[in-house]
Structure formats: structure tokens, C-alpha cells
Structure 1
Amino acid sequence: MVSTIILGVGIGVLAQPQLAVRFMTVDSKKSLNRAVFAGGPFILMMAGVAYIVGALSNVYFLDTQGQLALDVAGGNMDRIIPEYINSATPDLFVAIFMVTLLAAAMSTLSSQYHTMGTAIGHDFYKEFLKGGKSGKTISVTRLGIAVTIILSVILAYMLPISIIARGTAIFFGLCAAAFLPAYAGALFWPRMTREGAIASLLAGTFSSLFWLAFVHAKEAAPLGISQAIFGMETLLTGTWTVVDPILVATPIAAITAVVVSLATKPMPEEHLDRCYRGYIKR
């Protein structure tokens, strides 16, 4: 739980693409400062409360029903908190809780769909296929958003139980490995280069996917890729099979960013002065 949910959510939340896109729309530094003041404590309280309530639900259900939380939820990890809320709180609180939950879900989904649609319409279509020419970027972006919404609905009906918690851990861990070293380097290390950021993104992504497919037992065994290629469920044995990819892929991505940046040509002085406003010593 520590390496998957706690580390995944606690660290991966810093590197989610849809949140980065939101920060890009902020109109002033003053707004950013206000957001940090409000958002920092909010994330701390929300994550801390969720972890504590999830763990203490075992104590509550053992005391009231004589069962552990997972047994009360019928083996479905995703139903533990809903069962606890329905059982331990009054109906009015349940209604308010559901409204806030839906508001948070709608906010997150809208930013994620916007980010995915922009990636398809701008990054892939305009920049990669059209070489910077606009073409039908808006139409392609709208189509991309529609396709991702449809795929999300299909996955919601196809995926098995207990997938929400595990899927969240995978997504947040992948975000941390792919984006966090590049974000941190770009913000705080003037020696970071474009090549270093790209290499870090690729190293973090592929090392995380490799660990999921060939080492981490919860994913490697059901996928069967390692079994089909090497004749064994996981390439490593023992405690390695329960080590989450975030603990392996994120350090690999960070090391790659540093090594490649130091081995490539630094950014122009004028560019660094514009980005860092001269207050970071080089």
C-alpha cells in the first residue's frame, strides 16, 4: 500500500499532465501563489484523511460487523469507502459527500479529456503530421475528445472489480516516472536540456511499463507476456515482485535526465535568463 497508493498518489499527483495544463492557463504569478497556498494544505488533508479512513475502516467493520472491510465489500476494494460512508454516516452526509465526489470527478475528467484531445489535435496532428500547420486542428481535437470519452465508457464496463484503486496507482506512478524528473529539472535546474527531458520521459515510461509487464506480479501474471516469452510469470522472484514500478522507474528517469543533460549542449544564455529571471545562480 505504501509504494502503490501512498507513494503513487502522493508523488504522482505532482506530475499529472492535466494539472500541468491547468497551471499553464493561469493569468498571473499572483494567482499561482494563491493556488499554492490553498492547494498545498488541501492535498495534504485530502490524502491524509483518505489513507487514515481507509485503514481505520477495518477497525470500524470489525467492531460493528465482525468482519474486515474487504470482506464487507465482497472482495471488491473499490467498494470499501462507499460501504463505510453508507454505514457510518447519516443520509444527509452521504448526499453531500456524493455531490462533492461528482464535482471532483467532473472537474478531473474535463481536464483529462481536454489534455488528451489537445495531445491528439495539437501535438500529434498539427505538430507531427502537419509540421506546424493548423489544418483542421480544432476538428481533430474535438474528435480526439469524443474518442477518449467513448473509450473511457467502454473500459468502465469491461474492466474487472477492484480496478479503480490499482488503476489509479498505475496511472499516478506512470505520471511520476514519465514527467516528474523533467518538470523538476525544468523548474529548478538551469542545466536541464530538451534532450535530457525527452530522454527522461522515454526512460521513465518504458521502464515503468517493463516493470509492470515483466516484474510486478499483480500485472505481470494476468497479462501473461512474461509467461509467453520467457516461460515464467515474472522475471524476478521474491520481494521484487511486489515492488511498485514507481520505486524503480522514477529514479531511472531522474538519472537519465541528469546524464543526458550533462552530455548535451546547454540551453542558450538568453533563454535561461528569460526563464529564470536571473535569480538562479549558474
Structure 2
Amino acid sequence: MNLALLWILVVIYLGITGILGYMGYSRTKEDKDYLIAGGDVNPFVLAMSYGATFISTSAIVGFGGVAGLFGMSLLWLTFFNIFVGIFIAFVFFGKRTLLMGRALGSYTLAEFLGQRYQSRFIRGFVASQVFIILPVYAAAVLIGGARFMEGVLSVDYAVAVMVLSGIVAAYVMWGGLRGVVYTDAFQAVLMFIFMLIMLITTYVKLGGIVPAHQALTNLASMVPDSLKAGGHQGWTAMPKFGSPLWWTQVSTIILGVGIGVLAQPQLVVRYLTVRSPKQMNRAVLMGGIFIFMMTGVAFIVGPLSNVWFVQETGKIAIASVANGNVDLIIPAFLKSIMPQWFSYLFLLAMLAAAMSTLSSQFHVQGVSLTHDIFGAFYGPGRKLKNSLLINRLGILVALVAVVWLSFVLPPGIIAIATAFFFGTCAVTFLPIYVGALYWKGATRSGAVASMVSGAVVVTFLLLFVHAKEAAAVGLVQALLGRPALLGFPWTVVDPLIIGLPISTAVFIGVSLVTQPIKEEHVERCFHDLEDGKSSLPGETINA
């Protein structure tokens, strides 16, 4: 690979990113610009920014490699990503969040929930959860991006960490969410082009769509014995029902990620960035196409790589890469089938995927500390002096925390951090978020009880029951001499599947027996939704 040419392309890419970040900075004049991009983002930018935030390097390389091992059954996750993460999210969550958030003057998920339930504790608790947990997830993304730069550009890991985090933090710190959405849209377009070329080339190399899939089906006899014992039945079939592999795919990968996306703070804030629900409708189709091209293509190409490797080496994908590392399946496959120039596009696309996710993580962490935690302590309705400066300092604190973690976290943290963040957000926030949007009878006490119980349950399950995280932490091993507290199937059932029903039941039960929120406040929250009228001039909606 021509490193000089690659560096030139990287500099051009970073230059465009810098220009877009400066555009965000030049148009950021007040809190509304910094926190929700002024509330006037167009549908295309919304769809691309939402999608780019949703998809990171791990989704393309990591999950694509997992699909190469497990098969096309992971396409159910693409279905959930589109149907739940785009359609349900935008139509049933986004519109109501936008209108209710405008009525309450909310700029973040924590502020929205705190104002809906008239509770500074809820606002502070949600923001604290985000600020405490998200840095680990963000550090995992930063580690992946830095290791990628280290291996490809031949730069020291520490230098890669500082350069990557510094560039992202700079345009987030000064450009706020405007800077984030502008750069996200550019990075999303780059990622889309990369995935489209990869899909077309794969089918061309394998002789077409039908021959490629038929060849993959015919490889069922080559499934390793260890995977057969776990329930693997071939790369075009679902795992055996009730098997360990079935539980892992369905509960953790498909439902855990597919449902967990609804309560991601960095995604929820995107609903508040558009001017009207009509614009959100326009973003649904574009967002769905983008997510299909990201996850759908990865989950198609990953399994089909087995056909290519068998034809070329006589071995399936996992047996053809170093040390059986699934993260190497997609890079090794692309190196085998793609021309040299595509390697440069691949590297830029992976850099874009990492930076687009990191930028939103930095933003929501910093805002959680300054606007929400400090704001809840300072008191509702009170204007902070020099609020833009304070919010920028919050980004700086987030940067320091994430960079520090990127040097101290152990290997293999990416999957654990992702599961922990998605599971905690879904179990802790989703019931009260749905209740805030759809249930007038939801109470402050019910919301508090649901949040606290959800956080306790999901933490307990991750530390003591779910095998992957429990074994990595090692508490049960140290106390009882075994990797997990319970046996199969609990060790492979995702904590979200257990924790979400518990936090939901607590929310409903406590709300039914505790004092309701004042009627006039509830009416204020639901007024625009019920009348079909928005406080936005000339806008009528069907909520």
C-alpha cells in the first residue's frame, strides 16, 4: 500500500471534516444551536447523522465477522434495526418526543424525562448513568479506531489515540451538535459508497446472487463440530431452537441491540434537531436505506466470505484468518477480492465510522455533565451564565476521561462495553421513556422506582449471571470458584430480556398506587399531541 497516497487522502478527508466542523462552529450562537443543532436540521442530514451515530466500526467489521461465523440469521438484526431503530423510533417515538420536548423546552433525554416527570432527581440520575457508563463504550470505539490507525498508518498507538480523539473533540467542542451532524452526514455518505461497492463486487466475484447463496447453503457440512454442538445448522439457517447459539443470537444480538437502540441518549437527541414531524417522516426512508446498506450488507458479505475462502483455500472464513479472530474476516476477505484502490476507501470508511460514533458520544457525555447534572443541581428554569463555555468544558472533561480509559481498559472490552451500555440504557430508561410519551397516569415515583430497580437488576445480571461479562469481571469466580452464578440457559440469556420486563412491571405497579402528576402539567405535555396541532407555525401533525 502506498502510504504517501494514503496520508494524502486522510489529510483531505480530515480537511473536509474540519471545514464542516468550522461551519458548525460559525453557526453556533446559543444553547439551542449547541445542544440540538438549532432545531432546523433537514431530513437528509437527520437520517445520515442518526445512521452514522448508530453505526460504528464494530458494526461493519465486528458484527460482519460474527455473521461470517454464525451466518445470515443475523439479518434479523437488520430487520430490527430498520423496523424498530428507524420506523418505530422515528414514527412512534421521534414525533412525540419532538412535540413534547418543544412544549417542555427540553434539549436532552435526561432533561426531557426530568421535566416530563417534574423531577430533578430523574434528570440527574439519567445524566449520571450516561456520564458514568458511556465513557467506557466511547473508549472502546476510540481503541478500535486508534488500533486501526496504528496498524494501517504505522503510527504509535498513543499518537493515534491523541490525534483521533483530539480532532473529534475539537469540532464537537466548538461546533456543538451542529458540527456533529454536519460531519456525520459527510462520513455517512462515504460509508454508504463503500458498502455499496463491497456488496456489488462480492456478488460479481461469486457469480451472482443465486449462485452465491446456493453455494453458501451447500457449505453446511463444513460447519465445525464446536459450532454444531452449540446449535449451528449452516450459514443460511437459524441455529437450533433453544441452543446456546440460538439464545446468544436472538436475545443478545437481535433483541438486545435491536430494542436497546430505542433508549440511546445520543440518538434520542436527534429527534429534537428537526423543525417538524413532517421532516422526520421524510427521514424514515433515507434512514432505512442507510441502515440496510450498513448492517444488511455486512451480514450478507460476512457469511458469503465463506464461499470465497473455501474456493480459494479449501477452508471456511474463520479457519482462514489468523488465530480464528472474527474481527479479521471482513478485512481479509476485502483484501482478497478488492482492487488496491478499494483499500484506501475501506480505511477512510472505517475512520469515518469511528469518528461519527465518537463525536456523538463526546457530545452527549459533555452535555450530560454540564447541562444536565449541573443543570439539575442549579435548578430548573434558571439560565446558566456563559453556558456555551461551560458546555465546551464538559466536552473537555469527557475527552480526558475517554482518553484515560483507552490506555487502561483491558483487551476485548469492545463487546462487553457495548452490551453493558445498550442493556443498561434499555432496562433503565426505556419503560419511563415510553410512559412519558404515551401514559398520562405515569407517576414520578413509578419512574424513579423503575430506573433504580432496572439499573440494579441489569448490573447484577451482567456482573454475576451473563457468562461473557461475569467471566470477564471475575467476581463470581473469586467468590464461588465458578464463572457465573447460574447455569444454562441464564448464562446466555441477555440481561435485557430479564431486566426490561422487571423494570416495566415496577414502573406500572408503582405508578398505579402513587400520587399522580398535576393534571395541568400533564395536559401541557400532551396538548399538542392530542389536538394534532404543533406549536410550530403552520404545522399540523398526525401524532
Q: TM-score, normalised by structure 1?
A: 0.84
Where does residue 341 of structure 2 map in the other structure? 92
Summarize deviations over 1:165-191 as a string: whole Å, max 9, x none: 443233222222222222222223332
Partners of 1:101 and 1:279 in 2: CA distance: 45
- Aligned-pair distance for 1:219? 1.4
Of 57, 60, 65 in structure 1, the residue corresponding to residue 305 of structure 2 is 57
Contact kept, 8 Å, 1:8 with 1:170, in 2: the verdict is: no
Where does residue 203 of structure 1 map in the other structure? 453
Q: What residue identity is the alignment partner of 2:418?
A: T
Please identify the structure whose Cα radius of gyration is greater.
2
Q: What residue identity is the alignment partner of 2:395?
A: I
Q: Is residue 278 from structure 1 mapped to residue 530 from structure 2 by the alignment?
A: yes
Of 251, 263, 273 in structure 1, the residue corresponding to residue 513 of structure 2 is 263
1:1-282 matched pairs, under 5 angstroms: 1-2=248-249, 3-71=251-319, 72-128=321-377, 130-132=378-380, 134=384, 138-276=388-526, 277-278=529-530
Contact kept, 8 Å, 1:126 with 1:137, in 2: the verdict is: no
Change (3 A) 1:18 1:55: same
Change (3 A) 1:232 1:12: same
> Which ranges in structure 1 are unaligned for 5 or more consecutive residues?
none
Partners of 1:87 and 1:178 in 2: CA distance: 44
SS in 2 for 1:242: coil
Q: What residue identity is the alignment partner of 2:356?
A: S
Change (3 A) 1:195 1:63: farther
Contact kept, 8 Å, 1:58 with 1:68, in 2: the verdict is: yes
Q: Which has the higher contact order (CA 8 A, sep 6+)?
A: 2
Contact kept, 8 Å, 1:14 with 1:180, in 2: the verdict is: yes
Contact kept, 8 Å, 2:416 with 2:469, in 1: the verdict is: no
Partners of 2:309 and 2:403 in 1: CA distance: 32
Bigger shift: residues 44-53 or 240-249: 44-53
Contact kept, 8 Å, 2:367 with 2:391, in 1: the verdict is: yes
Change (3 A) 1:83 1:185: farther
Bigger shift: residues 74-83 or 234-243: 74-83
Q: What residue identity is the alignment partner of 1:216?
A: H
- Aligned-pair distance for 1:139? 4.6
Bigger shift: residues 240-249 or 60-69: 60-69
Contact kept, 8 Å, 1:73 with 1:83, in 2: the verdict is: no
Partners of 2:410 and 2:315 in 1: CA distance: 23
- Aligned-pair distance for 1:157? 4.2
SS in 2 for 1:266: coil
- Aligned-pair distance for 1:215? 0.6
RMSD in angstroms over aligned alpha carbons? 2.8
Which stretches of structure 1, 4 residues or longer, exceed 6 Å deviation after superposition? none
Partners of 2:413 and 2:336 in 1: CA distance: 23
SS in 2 for 1:33: helix
Q: What residue identity is the alignment partner of 2:374?
A: Y
Change (3 A) 1:191 1:52: farther
Q: TM-score, normalised by structure 2?
A: 0.46
Bigger shift: residues 216-225 or 104-113: 104-113
Change (3 A) 1:224 1:119: same
> Which ranges in structure 2 are unaligned for 5 or more consecutive residues?
1-247, 533-543
Contact kept, 8 Å, 1:78 with 1:163, in 2: the verdict is: no
Partners of 1:37 and 1:269 in 2: CA distance: 37
Where does residue 193 of structure 2 map in the other structure? none
SS in 2 for 1:239: coil
Summarize deviations over 1:218-269 as a string: whole Å, max 9, x none: 1112212223344543211222112221211122222222222222233334
Partners of 1:177 and 1:247 in 2: CA distance: 9
Change (3 A) 1:236 1:99: same
Contact kept, 8 Å, 1:114 with 1:145, in 2: the verdict is: yes
